[in-house]
Amino acid sequence: MMLPATFVAERVRLVCILDVRDTDELTGALGHIPQATYVPLARPGDVPGVLRPDTFVIVVSNTGERASVGAWLLGALGMGRVAALEGGMTA
């Protein structure tokens, strides 16, 4: 599931933003979301140890492609309330 940026912006205090970009991307031109939790896409198995399975998670990447993969992986790991930010940090 992909969510539009306006939906996310309206609910940012009610959800966990999970940034799955590479470390060097956090300080690049697109910056980062200050309240986001950071777990790189290469380590999706770390997320269940950081967040409860019932947490509503919105996964963020640069353009949304890796976020979609991350959301799928988290669903496969038992995280039931996961979506990706449509358009990613460029939205």
What percentage of the chain carries pLDDT values higher than 90?
38
pTM: 0.83
- CB-based contacts of 11: which residues, under 8 Å, 6+ apart? none
Averaged pLDDT score across all residues of the chain: 86
Domains and CATH numbers, the chain: 2-90 (3.40.250.10)
Cα(59)–Cα(38) distance, integer angstroms: 10
Q: Rounded to an integer, what distance in angstroms lies between the CA atom of residue 17 and that of residue 19?
A: 6
CA distances from 34 to 16, 19, 53 (A): 12, 10, 22
Q: Read off the pLDDT of residues 40-84 as tens digits, 9 standing for 90 and up.
A: 999 888 888 888 888 889 999 999 999 999 999 999 999 888 999
Distance CA 33, CA 91 (A): 13
Does the structure show a pLDDT above 80 at 9?
A: no
